Chain A
């Protein structure tokens, strides 16, 4: 346990610089987005009302009220989210491969530590999870701040204030990242973390058997996916509409846990018996 924490801490440290850059980009870009969007809205309003002598009502009719809704669809807002998502997806692979490649083969050190090799695996997985949750939290903190900036820039008559739920609801894909309910949270992140475990195992297949391992890894992913959706398949094809939604949900949780356990077991086996420097 102590070694797991040390390794976890170490893995966090290795990505920290990059991570802080991601955070900085997100903050700067989204806040810039709020300012830029608000300014351009206000200049539109100015032009409409003072230059073209239009009324405020007809302006609002034509342009609508300014709200976070206008902002969440800009590249300023979505760009950094996409960047973070892509970076973390790449990092799922990089967190392993970086130890094998280059002149400095750190994997020697990691595998020769007098501790269970699973600790290395779990430390890497925890790092990914914490990074993901960290970015989500950052977003949840940023939205109200951005709302406040918007309020300070746009007069109350021109704007529509939204709660954080409304902001999240204003944009479909966002609902995946920031679920409305605890159940949703479990589903989204349960599936997400399960996917990380499965991909980690596939990576270890590749690292153990190299070329042959790529095939094994893909097959492993396919099998895991089939097992995971098997209750849904059964419900859809074998005994249509036989189960209640709650029953399916519970079955999914059980199967999901089984897939995660299988992945951890398999990774443990590969790390101890098959892994290659």
Chain B
């Protein structure tokens, strides 16, 4: 379980996070939503120790993040994390060189699933294919937790469908996934848990299926209510 406890973050004078708390379980897809600029990416960065927080605590399976933790939790930002001059194969080799948890077989499987080729240069990839390679580099690791920042944003519909397909496949099975998005419409049926952020705090956190069952509302309905207030 990933536990985010009362974290705060200031950028200059701007208080971006004002005490954010939520948990994300293994085997579930948790979705952080909020209109742009509410600090979703900052939360991801904070979980990965890529940006310092001012107060609060983040625990992964009850422990603070250490360097070894990067073998069991990984982050797929919205920009590719490899050098443009590398080929996809180079990037995979880089992962293999540094991570014990790199699963070359799974990576190869993803490569063919996405219909990509190892000798393609990263700088030549389309936006959609760049997103797929980014996903491949994250999913190729045998990690327990996977964080993704806006995996569906700004890419073509077919890439989007392929990426959504990955979520329901064995490639994500039993992992804990946190994704951020500002566009939940397409993925309402894919997620377990929704955490709505606004103005630096969690305004509502609920189970998507639960809110449909108990209140007869869609996730978007709940968002609409929250933002109307």
- Residues of A participating in the B interface, judged by any CB pair closer than 8 Å: 3, 6, 10, 14, 102-106, 108-109, 111-117, 208, 272-277
Bits for B81-100, please: 1 = Cβ < 8 Å to A, else 0.
Answer: 11110000000001001111
B52: interface (CB < 8 Å): yes
Chain B, residue nearest A103 (CB): B79
Assuming the A-B contacts A108-B75, A273-B52, are A115 and B98 also in contact, with contact meaning beta carbons closer than 8 angstroms in the complex?
yes
- Are B97 and A6 in contact, CB atoms less than 8 angstroms apart? yes
Least CB distance, B69 to chain A, in whole angstroms: 8
- Are B83 and A104 in contact, CB atoms less than 8 angstroms apart? yes
In angstroms, Cα B51 to Cα A277, docked, is 6
Assuming the A-B contacts A6-B97, A104-B122, are A112 and B50 also in contact, with contact meaning beta carbons closer than 8 angstroms in the complex?
yes
Least CB distance, A12 to chain B, in whole angstroms: 14
- Are B82 and A106 in contact, CB atoms less than 8 angstroms apart? yes
Least CB distance, A176 to chain B, in whole angstroms: 35
Chain B, residue nearest A117 (CB): B67
In angstroms, Cα B68 to Cα A115, docked, is 7
- Are A106 and B81 in contact, CB atoms less than 8 angstroms apart? yes
Assuming the A-B contacts A112-B50, A116-B67, are A14 and B83 also in contact, with contact meaning beta carbons closer than 8 angstroms in the complex?
yes
Most buried by B among A108, A208, A275: A108
Could you say which residues of chain A place their CB within 8 Å of the CB of B181? none
- Are A103 and B84 in contact, CB atoms less than 8 angstroms apart? yes
Chain A, residue nearest B69 (CB): A114
B71: interface (CB < 8 Å): yes
Could you say which residues of chain A place their CB within 8 Å of the CB of B171? none
- Are A3 and B98 in contact, CB atoms less than 8 angstroms apart? yes
B80: interface (CB < 8 Å): yes
- Are A114 and B100 in contact, CB atoms less than 8 angstroms apart? yes
A-B contact pairs, 23 of them (CB 8 A): A6-B97, A104-B83, A104-B84, A105-B80, A106-B81, A106-B83, A108-B77, A108-B81, A109-B81, A111-B49, A111-B50, A112-B81, A113-B67, A113-B99, A114-B67, A114-B98, A117-B67, A272-B49, A275-B52, A276-B50, A276-B52, A277-B51, A277-B77
Least CB distance, A245 to chain B, in whole angstroms: 45
Could you say which residues of chain B place their CB within 8 Å of the CB of A102? 84
Number of interface residues of B (CB under 8 A): 26
In angstroms, Cα B97 to Cα A114, docked, is 11
Could you say which residues of chain A place their CB within 8 Å of the CB of B71? 114
- Are B81 and A104 in contact, CB atoms less than 8 angstroms apart? yes
B180: interface (CB < 8 Å): no
B30: interface (CB < 8 Å): no
In angstroms, Cα B81 to Cα A102, docked, is 11
- Are A112 and B82 in contact, CB atoms less than 8 angstroms apart? no
Most buried by A among B48, B67, B69, B77: B67
In angstroms, Cα B89 to Cα A155, docked, is 57
Assuming the A-B contacts A276-B51, A277-B45, A277-B50, are A109 and B82 also in contact, with contact meaning beta carbons closer than 8 angstroms in the complex?
yes
Chain B, residue nearest A277 (CB): B50
B74: interface (CB < 8 Å): yes
Could you say which residues of chain A place their CB within 8 Å of the CB of B49? 111, 272
- Are B84 and A114 in contact, CB atoms less than 8 angstroms apart? no
Could you say which residues of chain B place their CB within 8 Å of the CB of A114? 67-71, 98-100
In angstroms, Cα B74 to Cα A113, docked, is 10
- Are B52 and A113 in contact, CB atoms less than 8 angstroms apart? no
Most buried by B among A10, A106, A274: A106
- Are B75 and A112 in contact, CB atoms less than 8 angstroms apart? yes
Bits for B109-152, please: 1 = Cβ < 8 Å to A, else 0.
Answer: 00000000000001000000000000000000000000000000
Could you say which residues of chain A place their CB within 8 Å of the CB of B74? 112
Least CB distance, B201 to chain A, in whole angstroms: 22
Instruction: Using A102-B84, A272-B49 as known contacts, list a sample of 9 further A-B pairs with CB atoms less than 8 Å apart, ordered by residue number in A.
Output: A104-B79, A104-B82, A108-B79, A109-B81, A114-B67, A114-B99, A117-B67, A275-B50, A276-B51
Chain A, residue nearest B66 (CB): A114
Least CB distance, A205 to chain B, in whole angstroms: 13
Most buried by B among A102, A111, A112, A272: A112
Could you say which residues of chain B place their CB within 8 Å of the CB of A112? 48, 50, 70, 74-75, 81
Could you say which residues of chain A place their CB within 8 Å of the CB of B81? 104-106, 108-109, 112
Could you say which residues of chain B place their CB within 8 Å of the CB of A108? 50, 75, 77, 79, 81
